[in-house]
Chains A and B, each alone.
Chain A
């Protein structure tokens, strides 16, 4: 079974500071990994996805994530936080058939002015 673990349920950064949200995965086969964002009272929307084409993946809103097989990690970063980045972020992995998406527990990002 595949799973993801997000370290830190809450992360607080100052506006303009680096954002780093951690995700580690467990998979017996090469995984397909995703980051989703959820703004208050909304559904989830895709930030970026790793499909094995490139280890550094760029997403929307200036976010990127790097797949590191040796560390079984897929951490999400953004060089400079903006107030509008405050949201909950979910890492997810899909099975090989692509019909079951498993989510981590989520990390709530708070951005201080």
Chain B
């Protein structure tokens, strides 16, 4: 059971380049998320998708776009990378069963450096 799979694990970009981070989950979850993790700031939500066909902005959406391709896949795109986007990116998925009965499962992360 793979859970949440992110690709790539590492990436170095030059300022202005574009790239797409891929995420897939095999748990049939409705909700999927993209977070970025920076030292001392915890995880900050970039975008989330509550269900297939819907996406919403999180806390730090500027500079990013997302696509919920189907129930399994949720991609994050950087159209024109900036050094401020150097971070570790995590994809997660979850299912809400009411009254707090939920658990988010995380991928292993993508370490992105923009030079």
**Which of A42, A51, A98, A103 is B42 in contact with, Cβ under 8 Å?**
A103
Interface string of B3-35 (1 = CB under 8 A from A): 010000000000000000000000000110101
Decide: A51 near B101, CB < 8 A? Known: A9-B40, A105-B42, A106-B42.
yes
Chain B contact patch, size range: 20 to 34
Q: Compute the total of residue contacts between A and B using a CB distance below 8 Å.
A: 74
The answer to whether B90 touches A51, judged by C-beta atoms less than 8 angstroms apart, is no
Number of A residues whose C-beta is below 8 Å from B? 27
**Contact of B90 with A44 in the complex, beta carbons under 8 Å:** yes
A2 contacts the other chain (CB 8 A) = no
The verdict on A90 contacting B102 (CB below 8 Å), with A44-B90, A99-B50, A100-B48 known, is no
Q: Which residues of A contact B (CB under 8 A)?
A: 6, 9, 32, 34, 36, 41-46, 49-52, 90, 94, 97-106
